[in-house]
Amino acid sequence: MIGGLFIYNHKGEVLISRVYRDDIGRNAVDAFRVNVIHARQQVRSPVTNIARTSFFHVKRSNIWLAAVTKQNVNAAMVFEFLYKMCDVMTAYFGKISEENIKNNFVLIYELLDEILDFGYPQNSETGALKTFITQQGIKGQHQTKEEQSQITSQVTGQIGWRREGIKYRRNELFLDVLESVNLLMSPQGQVLSAHVSGRVVMKSYLSGMPECKFGMNDKIVIDKQGKGGASDDAGKSDLGGGSGKQSIAIDDCTFHQCVRLSKFDSERSISFIPPDGEYELMRYRTTKDIILPFRVIPLVREVGRTKLEVKVVIKSNFKPSLLAQKIEVRIPTPLNTSGVQVICMKGKAKYKASENAIVWKIKRMAGMKESQISAEIELLPTNDKKKWARPPISMNFEVPFAPSGLKVRYLKVFESKLNYSDHDVIKWVRYIGRSGIYETRC
């Protein structure tokens, strides 16, 4: 299991050092600094073995988190734990920075003591942790016995992510369907790979221990229902309405630990008792019938050895009534660029020498439109034999729909003990599609 955990700043100075196992000596801290942080080469692997000691590291801005072990640990678990550690710290004190870590080092030690015992990760749900690791040490003494046992049963219990006795005057929930659409397209416009990775994020402000059931236009469910009772289904699918697609094929999905996986496996129904506040209910991935919001058509022409002509057309491909925002196209330029002239029809375009790219920004663009940019790039003559690698043209944007076609069909809330029903809950749904790695080769 994890033998120790270190946090360093970018210089390699130790900010936090917690050793859990006797087989990890004091020199381990230095070994990592010397061999990884101060290594001349770029890091070639997130797992490093130095003298039979294995180091796992992740970096957050310029902070290094390293877990160390001498055993054959579950490597996936170690990384998941490091990410979780980052989440917990962020939930407690915001951004992970040297300053914040130094300011909160006592808290971090306390957290490390709680969420990692002898190198075994323990309950690391911030909701639960915040009930008893509060940085107001005295509070512990004023808790009643009931409160204490409530804490312990929550930390160890089946529903470790929610405490009892939550009350809201207004029961309300927000669902965000956040998708990132990824594309790799050949210069000729052939889709080399495309997928959507989506998340359903829920903010719940619900009283008691509500039992929730979430439904979406999952093809498997719709088809199953279609077989069962067609009449019932017709009404429902309209509810999702809007796009022509009735159901989508989900390649794979993963759920927050509150979701009953065995129930999903057998009935494909998503039922759970949600944590209080904001959390990620599910992640999913689709590859079929993706709506690609933009198409990029590049044209790069080399004129002699010292000049490049670039023309890029973007076309928006969604309902004209919708508006895409924060559109940005990055056109990479060779390292030996000496000057650039840009003309664009819409938005603003600039050559950024420090980034070796022309950045073209458009604030808004409606569906079924197109726009174009052309640029002349002057090059310095070089002796470099190596050809310019022509990195792909990448794009960023935000659209108010889900490129996968996912629709929320319902989210039902049942709380039998309290006197509010599904109808009393105010529900909000929002769809946001963003670009992930959206690249077109040129």
Q: What residues from 401 to 440 belong to the interface with other proteins (CB under 8 A)?
A: 437, 439
Say if residues 163 and 150 touch (Cβ distance below 8 Å): yes
382: phi then psi, degrees, rounded to nearest 5: -130, 165
- Considering only the stretches 128-136, 204-212, 368-376, 403-411, report the one whose residues sit in contact with other proteins under the rule CB under 8 A: 128-136
Binding residues for other proteins restricted to 37-66, rule: CB under 8 A: 42-47, 49, 52, 54, 56-58
Binder among 34, 95, 122, 366 for other proteins (CB under 8 A): 122
- 151 makes contact with other proteins (CB under 8 A): yes
- 369 annotated to a ligand binding site: no
Record the tokens describing residue 67, joined without a space: 């877990």
406 within 8 A of 178, measured Cβ to Cβ: no
Residue 82 and residue 67 in contact, taking contact as beta carbons nearer than 8 Å: yes
Identify residues 365-384 at the interface with other proteins (CB under 8 A): none
Strands 307-316 and 370-379: antiparallel
**Structure-block tokens of residue 244:** 């022509």
Burial class (CB in 10 A: 0-12, 13-18, 19+), 230: exposed
Taking the C-alpha atoms of residue 84 and residue 3, their distance in angstroms, rounded to an integer, is 17
Residue of the chain from 35, 90, 123, 269 that contacts other proteins (CB under 8 A): 123
* Closest separation in Å from C-beta 442 to other proteins: 12
Task: Give whole-number Cα distances, 152 to 116, 146, 157, 160, 210, in Å.
Answer: 16, 10, 8, 9, 21
User: What is the rounded CA–CA span in Å between residue 110 and residue 39?
Assistant: 31
Q: Does 31 bind other proteins (CB under 8 A)?
A: no
CB 297, min distance to other proteins, A: 19
- Count the neighbouring beta carbons within 10 Å of the beta carbon of residue 196: 27
Stretch of 223-231, 306-314, 366-374, 388-396 contacting other proteins, by CB under 8 A: 388-396
Query: Residues 113, 6: contact at Cβ < 8 Å?
Result: no
Alpha helices in 169-260 (DSSP H): 219-228, 230-240
The 177-216 contact track toward other proteins, x by CB under 8 A, reads -------x-x-----xx-x-x-------------------
Q: Does 396 contact other proteins by CB under 8 A?
A: no
Q: Which of 2, 24, 96, 104 binds other proteins (CB under 8 A)?
A: 104
> Does the annotation flag 350 for ligand binding?
yes
Q: How far is the CB of 262 from other proteins (least distance, A)?
A: 5
Residue 348 assigned ligand-binding role:
yes
1: contact with other proteins by CB under 8 A: yes
Residues 244 to 283: which contact other proteins by CB under 8 A? 251-257, 260-262, 264-265, 280, 282-283
Position 355 contacts other proteins (CB under 8 A): no
Q: Which is nearer to other proteins, 142 or 167 (CB)?
A: 142
Among 124, 337, 371, 435, binds other proteins (CB under 8 A): 124
CB of 79 to other proteins, least distance (A): 5
| Site for other proteins contains 71 (CB under 8 A) | yes
Cβ contacts of residue 386 below 8 Å, gap of 6+? none
* Residue 361 labeled ligand binder: yes
* 156 burial type by CB count under 10 A (0-12 exposed, 13-18 middle, 19+ buried): exposed
Backbone angles phi, psi at 337, to 5 degrees: -70, 135
Which CB atom, from 5 or from 312, has the smaller least distance to other proteins?
Answer: 5
Map tokens 């993706």 to a residue: 290
Q: Does 337 bind other proteins (CB under 8 A)?
A: no
Residue positions forming the annotated binding site: 348, 350, 352, 361, 363
